[in-house]
Structure 1
Amino acid sequence: MPAITTLPATAERWDDVQHALSGGGDGRSCQCAWFTLTNAEFDHTSVDERRDLLHGEVQADPPPGLVAYVDGEAAGWVRAGPRTIQRRIARTRAIITSTPQPLDDDSVWAITCFVARKEHRGLGLNAALLRAAVDLARDHGARVIEAYPVDTSIGHVPPNDLYHGALSTFLAAGFTETAVTKPGRPLVALEL
Structure 2
Amino acid sequence: MATTALATTDDFRVFPATHARFGDVRTMVGPKNPTSSVCWCLSHRVPASLNRELAGAERADFVEALTRKRTKPGVLAYDGDEVVGWAAVASRAELPFARSTKIPHVDDQDAWSVWCIRVRPGHRGRGISHVLLEGAVAYAVQRGAPVVEGYPVDNRGEKVDLTMAYVGTRAVFEAAGFALAMRTEATSAGFPRVIMRRDA
Same fold, judged at TM 0.5 (above): yes
Which deviates further from its counterpart, 66-75 or 152-161? 152-161
Report the counterpart of residue 18 of structure 1 in structure 2: 26
Query: Are 1:74 and 2:83 counterparts?
Result: yes
Partner Cα separation in structure 1 for residue 114 and residue 172 of structure 2: 12
CA distance in 1, matches of 2:41, 2:57: 12
User: What is the identity percentage for the equivalent residue pairs of Structure 1 and Structure 2?
Assistant: 28
Q: Deviations over 1:82-139 (max 9, x none)?
A: 11222x202321113xx2223xx6x321101111111111111110110111111111
Within-5 A mapping of 1:167-182: 167-182=170-185
Partner Cα separation in structure 2 for residue 63 and residue 73 of structure 1: 20
- Give runs of ≥4 in structure 1 deviating > 6 Å: none
Displacement, 1:22?
4.8
Match of 1:100 among 99, 106, 116: 106
Q: Partners in 2 of 1:23 and 1:115 — Cα distance?
A: 13
CA distance in 2, matches of 1:13, 1:167: 29
RMSD: 2.1
Change (3 A) 1:2 1:18: farther
SS at match of 1:157: coil
**Structure 2 residue 121 is matched with structure 1 residue 118:** yes
Partner of residue 45, structure 1: 54
Asked if the contact 2:87–2:115 (Cα under 8 Å) also holds between the matched residues in 1, the reply is: yes
* 1:151 partner letter: D
From the superposition, tell whether residues 176 and 65 of structure 1 become closer, same or farther in structure 2 (CA, over 3 Å).
same
Instruction: Specify the alignment match of 2:72 in structure 1.
Output: 63
Hey, what does 1:165 align to over in structure 2?
168
Q: Which has the higher helix share?
A: 1
Displacement of 1:2 in angstroms is: 7.5
Which is bigger in relative contact order (C-alpha 8 A, separation at least 6)? 1
Secondary structure class of the residue paired with 1:120: coil
Q: Aligned residues, how many?
A: 183
TM-score (norm 2): 0.84
**Hey, what does 1:8 align to over in structure 2?**
16
Normalized against structure 1, the TM-score is what?
A: 0.87
Distance in 2 (alpha carbons) for counterparts of 1:180 and 1:158: 21
Q: Secondary structure at the match of 2:138?
A: helix
Measured in 1, the distance between the counterparts of 2:47 and 2:31 equals 25
Distance 1:158 1:38 in 2: 25
